[in-house]
Structure 1
Amino acid sequence: MRELGHLANSLATPAQLEHSSSSLDGVPADLERSVRYAGVKLTQAAGVLLQLPQDVVAQAIVVFTRFWVGPEGGSLAAYSVKDVSAAALYMTAKLSFSPVSPRSVLNVYTYLLSPSASPLSFVNPDGTPERPSPESFYLSEGAYQIERQNLMKVESAVLRTSSFHTRVVLPHTIALTYLQTLKVASPSVASRTFAHLNAALFSPQLLYLTHQPNALAVSAIYLAAREEGVKIVDSEWWEVFDVDREELGFLVVAMRSMEGFARHEQDGWQGKAVPLSIGGIEREMSLRQHANSQE
C-alpha cells in the first residue's frame, strides 16, 4: 500500500484515544463528547452559511476533531469550542480554492452563537424569534479587531498541536471510485453511502481519526447496499480494497449507531444550551458537582 500513501491519513494512536487533555483537566467524558459533537455541528453550520464546498467543511471538521485528541491536544478547559471551530474552518478554507475572510468567519460565528438569534437548537433551545434583532448578533469594529487577533492566535495553536499537519484525505471520492469498480449503478446506494460518510464525521468514536478512508468508504458502501437491498457480488469483495471482516463489522455497527447517538444527544440536552465556552464548561461542571453532593 506504499504507492497509495497519498490516500491515507495519520491516525490517532491508542494512547491518544485513552486520555484527552480535557479529561486530564477533569472534564467528564460524557460532557466532552456532547461538547465535541456540538462543535462539529457548529462547524458544519458555519461552513454552510459561508457557502463553502462540502469537502472543505468536512476537512475542517476533521481538523477540529483532531485538535482535542490525546494528552497533548487542546483542552476544553483552556480553549473555546467556538474559537477552535472558527480557526479550523478559516484555516482549511484558506488552504483550499475557496478562502474566506476573517470578518466573514467571525460575523457568521457571532450570529450562530447569539442566544436570541441562533438557528441552532443547542445554542438557542427556546427557538429562534421570527424577527431577531440585528443588535443581538452585531459585531462592532472594536470587537472584530479583538476577535480577529484571537482567531489568528487559536489558528496558530491548532497548527502547533497538529505539528502543522493539515492534510485530510476524505473517503467520498474513494467511495465513488469503488462504486464504479463494483459496477453499482443504483443512485440510492450512492446517496446512502455519502450520507453515512457525512454522518460519520459526527461519530463519538472518532471514525475519521481511527480508520483509513478506504475502510470508511467500503463500510459505507456495504451498509448502504444492505439498506437498499442491492446485492453487490457473492465474494468477500471488501478484501479487494484492503479491508478485513473485523474492521468492516466494527465500522458498519458504528455507522448504524449514529442515528441513535444523535437522538440521545438531542434528548439529553432538551431545553438546555450546550456549553461551548470555557466559562460555560466550568459552570456545567460546577452544577454537576453540586448535584452529586446533594445526593
Structure 2
Amino acid sequence: MAAGLKHLSNALATPDQLSNSSSSIDNVPSDLETSIRCAGAQLTQAAGVLLHLSQDIIAQAVVIFTRFWLGADGGSLRIYSVKDVSAAALYLTAKLSFQPTSPRSVLNVYTFLLSQNASPLWFVRQSGAPETPPSPETYILSEGGYQSARLVLLRTETIILRTLGFDTHVALPHTIALTYLQTLARCGSTGHSTPQCGTALTPASLCHSPTKCPRRGCHLPRVTRGGVKLVDGEWWEVFDVDREELGFLVVGMKSTEGFMRAEVNQWKNKAIPMAVDEVDAEIERRRMMEEGE
C-alpha cells in the first residue's frame, strides 16, 4: 500500500492469534476470557469518558488493550490483571495524543470505577450506581496507594509496549464510514440518519470485537437497520466485499446486543474478575463445581 494511504491500513488479528491466546494456554476457559476482555473494553470506555477524552482516543485505547491479549506471545489473564492493562492502555494512548492525562487522574478514575461501593458499572457492582452518594473514603485513592498504583501503571505500560513491539498504530473506521457513505451517494439524499447510525455502531463493534473492527463493515448500519433505499446492483463490490462476507458482517453486527444481554445474564449474581487472583479464584470455583466438591 502506498505510504500516503497507510492511515487506511490496520493490523488485524490472525485466526491463529484469536484461537491460541496466552490465556487459553494457561487454562483460562474461552468463555471466561471473552467475558473478562469484553468487560475490560467497557471499563476502558467508561474511564475514558470520565477523563473527558475524545472518542477516537478511547477507541484506540480499546484496540491497544485487546491486542495485548492476542496470540501465544500476548499477555495472559493469569499473569496480568485486566484492570491494570486497561488503565495502562488508556494512559499510553492519551499520552501519544493531543489529550495527555496524568497518572493520578487515570488512577483516581479507575479506583472509583472499580469500587464495590461506588462503581456504576454492572460488572463491578451488579446493583448499579448507588442511589445515595457513597462516602468518599470508599473510592478515593490514598497517597500511599497512589504511589504503589503509579508504579504498577508505568510498569504495565512498558509491558504493553514490549508485547506489541512498540507498534501502537490504530486505524479507526469512523471517518472512513463517511467516505463509504459518500461513495454510495446517500449522504445528501438520506439526511443524517445513516451517518449517525454508522458512527453510533462503531463503538459497539469495538467492545464486541475490537480486533476486527473492519473498514468494510462501516456501511453495515444501512444493511442492519432498514429505512434507507440503497442504490441498485451489487453495491458491496465497491468495498471489495463479496455477498457471503457481507452476510457474516451483518450477523456479527446484529449479534452485539444479544451477546451483551447474555453477558449481563451470566454474571448477574457476581462480579467479573478484574485481577489475577480473582481469575484464579473463578477458575478454581468452576473446577470444584465440575468435580462436585
Q: TM-score range by the shorter chain?
A: over 0.9
Are the equivalent residues in 2 in contact too, given 1:225–1:231 (CA < 8 A)? no
| Residues 278, 131 of structure 1: alpha-carbon distance in 2 compared, 3 angstrom cutoff | same
Aligned to 2:11: 10
Aligned to 1:214: 215
Deviation at 1:44, TM superposition (A): 0.4
Deviation at 1:226, TM superposition (A): 5.0
Amino acid at match of 1:277: A
Amino acid at match of 1:238: W
RMSD: 1.5
1:175 & 1:127 partners in 2: Cα distance?
34
Aligned to 1:229: 227
Deviates more, 1:175-184 or 1:249-258: 175-184
2:273 & 2:33 partners in 1: Cα distance?
10
Aligned to 2:136: 134
Listed one character per residue, the Cα deviations across residues 181-238 of structure 1 (whole Å, up to 9, x for unaligned) are 22223312112212221111112xx3x4246x42122xxx234355132112112222
Aligned to 1:158: 160
1:226 & 1:44 partners in 2: Cα distance?
24
- How many residues get paired? 288
- Please, what TM-score do these two structures have when normalized by structure 2? 0.94
Amino acid at match of 1:97: F
Deviation at 1:245, TM superposition (A): 2.2
Instruction: Specify the SS of the correspondent of 1:120.
Output: coil
Deviates more, 1:33-42 or 1:120-129: 120-129
| Residues 148, 226 of structure 1: alpha-carbon distance in 2 compared, 3 angstrom cutoff | closer
Instruction: Specify the SS of the correspondent of 1:86.
Output: helix
Instruction: Specify the SS of the correspondent of 1:198.
Output: helix
Are the equivalent residues in 2 in contact too, given 1:81–1:277 (CA < 8 A)? yes
Are the equivalent residues in 2 in contact too, given 1:126–1:271 (CA < 8 A)? no
Instruction: Specify the SS of the correspondent of 1:201.
Output: helix
1:257 & 1:182 partners in 2: Cα distance?
25
2:53 & 2:91 partners in 1: Cα distance?
10
2:101 & 2:6 partners in 1: Cα distance?
30
1:250 & 1:141 partners in 2: Cα distance?
50
Aligned to 1:294: 292
Listed one character per residue, the Cα deviations across residues 231-273 of structure 1 (whole Å, up to 9, x for unaligned) are 1211222212222223222111100000000000001111211
Deviation at 1:6, TM superposition (A): 2.7
Deviation at 1:177, TM superposition (A): 1.3
Deviation at 1:18, TM superposition (A): 1.7
- Please, what TM-score do these two structures have when normalized by structure 1? 0.93
1:94 & 1:5 partners in 2: Cα distance?
22
Aligned to 2:53: 52
Kindly indicate whether residue 60 of structure 2 is the aligned counterpart of residue 62 of structure 1.
no
- Over the matched positions of the two proteins, sequence identity in percent amounts to 57
Aligned to 2:177: 175
Deviates more, 1:102-111 or 1:193-202: 193-202
Aligned to 2:259: 261
Kindly indicate whether residue 110 of structure 2 is the aligned counterpart of residue 105 of structure 1.
no
Listed one character per residue, the Cα deviations across residues 94-145 of structure 1 (whole Å, up to 9, x for unaligned) are 1111110000000000000010111111101133331201001111111111
Deviation at 1:49, TM superposition (A): 0.2
2:134 & 2:27 partners in 1: Cα distance?
37
Amino acid at match of 2:259: F
| Residues 19, 111 of structure 1: alpha-carbon distance in 2 compared, 3 angstrom cutoff | same
Is there any run of 5+ residues in structure 1 with no aligned partner, and where? none
1:162 & 1:136 partners in 2: Cα distance?
35
1:172 & 1:126 partners in 2: Cα distance?
33
Are the equivalent residues in 2 in contact too, given 1:172–1:197 (CA < 8 A)? yes
| Residues 282, 21 of structure 1: alpha-carbon distance in 2 compared, 3 angstrom cutoff | same
Amino acid at match of 2:148: I
Aligned to 2:239: 241
2:113 & 2:177 partners in 1: Cα distance?
32
Kindly indicate whether residue 205 of structure 2 is the aligned counterpart of residue 200 of structure 1.
yes
1:189 & 1:24 partners in 2: Cα distance?
42
